[in-house]
Chain A
Amino acid sequence: MEPKSLQKRDILRKTLTYGFLTVWGIFVLFPFYWMVLTSVKSYGSYNAEYIPQLYTLHPTLQNYLDAFSAVPLLDYFVNTVIFTLATTALMLMVTVLAAFGFSRLQFKGRDLAFTAFLALMMIPTELVVITNFVTITNMDLRNTFAGLVLPSVTSVFYIYLLRENFSQIPNELYYAAKVDGTSDLKYLFKVMIPICRPTIVTVTILKVIECWNSYIWPRLITDDQAYFLVSNGIQEIRENGFGRENIPAMMAAVVVISVPLIVLFLCFRKRIMAGVSRGGVKG
C-alpha cells in the first residue's frame, strides 16, 4: 500500500474515533446541561415552550429560591450531610480497626474469621434488608438517625481493601516500633494510617458517594419528612411537591443535590476513578 493512502486512512480513523467519542460525550453531558438549563428557565416561559428550546435568553434564579422555600430542601440537605458524616466516620472506625486486626495482629482463628468475612461479601443487600427493616422497627428506631446509620456502618469490601493495603507495610516497621515501646494503637495511628492515607481517603470518598445517593434503606426506614434524605426528598418533590408540576423548580432541586458530588468528583477525580476500578460497584 502507498504511504500516502496509509496516511489518509490514519486521518480518517482518527476523525471517526474522535467523532464517536464526542457524540458519546454529548450523550453523557446532555442530561446535565438540560437540568441546568431548565432550572434557570422561568416557570412561565418553560410551560409556554411547546417545542423545547435548547437555550434561554432570560435566565432566572427564582427556581432556586422556590426550591428552598416551597419544599424543605434545606432540611433534606442537612439530613443527608449528617447521615453521610455519621455513617462514614463510624464506618472508618470499624473498618480500620478490623483491617488492623486482620493484617497486623496474630491470633488464633484469624484467617478463618477473615475467610468468613470475605464470604459475607457475596450476600446481596436485598436478602438482609427485610430482617433489618423488622429489627429497626422493633427497636423503635424508625425515623431516627440511628436507624438510618447503623445498618450501613460496616462494609466487608472496605475492610478487605484496607487489609490488603495494611499488609503491604513491611513487618519490620512494626517490630521497630515495638522495640521502641510503641503500643499497637499508637502504631496504628502514627504509622499505618499515615502510610495508607491514600487508600483511606479513597474509601472515605467512595462511602460518601454511596451515602449521598442511598435511597432504598432511607425510604424503608423513614416516612417522616423531617428525616428524609435528598434522594427521598427528590422523590417526594416529584410526587407531591410544588403543587402543580413545576418542572424548573424541580430541576433546580436536582441541580442543588447533584452539585456537591460533582464538585467532590472533580477534586478527587484520579483517586475516585482508581478506587472504583479496584473493585467499587455501583450501589
Chain B
Amino acid sequence: MNVTLQNLTKTFPGRGKQKNNDVIAVNDFTFEIPDGKLVGLLGPSGCGKSTMLNLLSGLLTPTAGKIFFGEEEVTNQPPQNRGVGLVFQNYALYPHLTVMQNITFPLENLKGKDKLTKAQMREKALEAARLVQIDQLMDRKPSELSGGQQQRVAIARALVKMPRILLLDEPLSNLDARLRLQTREEIRRIQTQTGITTVFVTHDQEEAMSICDMIVVMRDGILQQIGQPQQVYDDPENLFVAKFLGTPPINTFDARVEAGKLYIGEEAVLELPDAETGPVIAAIRPEGFVPSPLGSFTCQLQRIEVMGRDTSVVCSHPAFTGETFRAIIDSDEICQISAEARFSLKENKVYLFRPDTGDRIRF
C-alpha cells in the first residue's frame, strides 16, 4: 500500500505565554511513500515526527491537507478504520494481560463479518508470535519479559490484524546498545518478510540510515529532505541535513570563496572555478580529509584516537566553528601525521552553504 500526503499541516493551539501563537508541528508536507518500503522519519526531538506518525495512525486529524492510503482517502477516518498497526516507544502492553491476550486484544474488536472465533484468534496470534519469535512466551505477563521481548510482543500485536501500514514510534530507544543492533535487523527482516509498508520514527540517524529504504528528514515541522539514505548523506540540501547525518558529525568552518578558490583561514584549500565570491560555511565530512605532507590544509594536532580499523585525528583550527574537529583516516596512514597536520581534501566530501540561510551552494 503506498501512502500519499498532500499539503499535510497540523497546528496546535499555543499554551501559556505563547497563547496567541499556534505551534505548527507539521507544515505543508507533500510526499509519497512507495508500497512495501521501510521509511524512517528522522529529526531531532520536537521536530514534529511523532505528530506526523499520529496523523498517519489517525490519533490526530490534520488541520489541513489530505492523506491517502493507496487510492482511498483516509484523512478524516478514525484509527480503527484505517487498518494501521502502531508500536509505541514504551510498547504500551496491557500489564494485566498475558502475551497471548495482548496479541488477541485487537482481534476482539472486530465486528460483523470480520468477527473471529476464539480458535481463529489464537491461530492468528500464534502466527504473529512465530513471526517475531516469541511463540514460547505466550502465557507470560509483560512484566516477566525483557525489554527486547516486550518490543517483539508489541510488534506482534501491531501485526496480528494484518495492517495496511505499520507504524513504529522510536522502536529502539528503550533498548540497550547491543539489543538495538539486533532488533533493528529484526525489524528489517519482519518488514521484508511481510512486505508491509512501514514508517518508523527515530532521532538516531545511524538507525535510520542502516535499515531504511528511504528517509524523511524533518526540522521544526518543516520537511528538509527526502531520499535514499546514501543519497541524502552524499548530497544534503542544507546545512541542517548535512550536520544531522553522519557520525562523527560533519565539520564546519567559516570560509570564503575568492577568485575561484575556497579559503579556510589564509589557505586556499580547493579550486572552485565556478563558485561565486563571498563568505560561505564549508562543511567537510570526517572522511574527506586525506593526510598528505603537501596538503593545502594545515591544522594543529590535538590527539589521536585509535579505533581499530580507523583512526580519528582530533585537530584544532582557528576557522573551525567549535573547539576541535575530527578527521577519520585509515590506520595505515597514521605515520603521515605530525604536530602540524597537513591534509588534502576530497572534493566530493566538501559542501558549501550560505552563512545566512544554510542553503546549499552548488559548485
Q: Does B96 contact A (CB under 8 A)?
A: yes
Q: Does A176 contact B (CB under 8 A)?
A: yes
Complex Cα gap A190–B106 (Å): 12
Q: Is the CB of B57 within 8 A of A179?
A: yes
**What chain A residues lie within 8 Å of B94 (beta carbons)?**
173, 191, 195
- Name the residue among A179, A181, A182 with the largest chain B CB count within 10 angstroms: A179
- Identify which of residues 151-204 in chain A touch chain B, using a CB-to-CB cut-off of 8 Å: 170, 172-173, 175-182, 186, 190-191, 194-195, 197
**What chain A residues lie within 8 Å of B97 (beta carbons)?**
194
Q: Does B89 contact A (CB under 8 A)?
A: yes
A-B contact count (CB 8 A): 58
Q: Does B161 contact A (CB under 8 A)?
A: yes
- In this complex, what residue of B is CB-closest to A171? B92
- Identify which of residues 66-94 in chain B touch chain A, using a CB-to-CB cut-off of 8 Å: 78-81, 84-86, 88-92, 94
Q: Does B62 contact A (CB under 8 A)?
A: no
Q: Is the CB of B86 within 8 A of A179?
A: yes
Q: Does B59 contact A (CB under 8 A)?
A: yes
Q: Is the CB of A179 within 8 A of B96?
A: no
Q: Is the CB of A175 within 8 A of B105?
A: no
Give the contact-size bracket for chain A.
10 to 19
CB distance from B162 to the nearest CB of A (A): 13
Q: Is the CB of B106 within 8 A of A170?
A: no
Q: Is the CB of A176 within 8 A of B109?
A: no
Please judge, given known A-B contacts A175-B59, A175-B86, whether A180 and B80 are in contact too, CB under 8 Å: yes
**What chain A residues lie within 8 Å of B59 (beta carbons)?**
175, 178-179
CB distance from A229 to the nearest CB of B (A): 36
CB distance from A228 to the nearest CB of B (A): 42
**What chain B residues lie within 8 Å of A191 (beta carbons)?**
94, 96
Q: Is the CB of A194 within 8 A of B80?
A: no
**What chain A residues lie within 8 Å of B58 (beta carbons)?**
179
Please judge, given known A-B contacts A175-B59, A194-B96, A195-B96, whether A180 and B106 are in contact too, CB under 8 Å: yes
Complex Cα gap A195–B81 (Å): 27
Q: Is the CB of B90 within 8 A of A172?
A: yes
Q: Is the CB of B88 within 8 A of A172?
A: yes
Q: Does B246 contact A (CB under 8 A)?
A: no
Q: Is the CB of A179 within 8 A of B109?
A: no
Q: Is the CB of B92 within 8 A of A180?
A: no
CB distance from A166 to the nearest CB of B (A): 14
28 pairs, CB–CB < 8 Å, chain A vs chain B? A172-B89, A173-B92, A173-B94, A175-B54, A175-B57, A176-B86, A176-B88, A176-B92, A176-B157, A178-B78, A178-B79, A179-B80, A179-B85, A180-B106, A181-B78, A181-B80, A181-B81, A181-B106, A181-B109, A182-B109, A186-B109, A190-B105, A191-B94, A191-B96, A194-B96, A195-B94, A195-B96, A197-B96
Interface, chain A (partner B; CB < 8 A): 170, 172-173, 175-182, 186, 190-191, 194-195, 197
Given contacts A173-B94, A179-B79, A194-B97, 16 further A-B contacts (CB under 8 A): A172-B89, A172-B91, A173-B92, A175-B59, A175-B92, A176-B88, A176-B157, A177-B105, A178-B59, A179-B59, A179-B84, A180-B106, A182-B80, A190-B105, A195-B94, A197-B96
Nearest 10 CB-CB pairs, A to B?
A181-B80, A172-B92, A180-B106, A172-B88, A181-B109, A176-B92, A194-B96, A179-B79, A179-B86, A173-B92
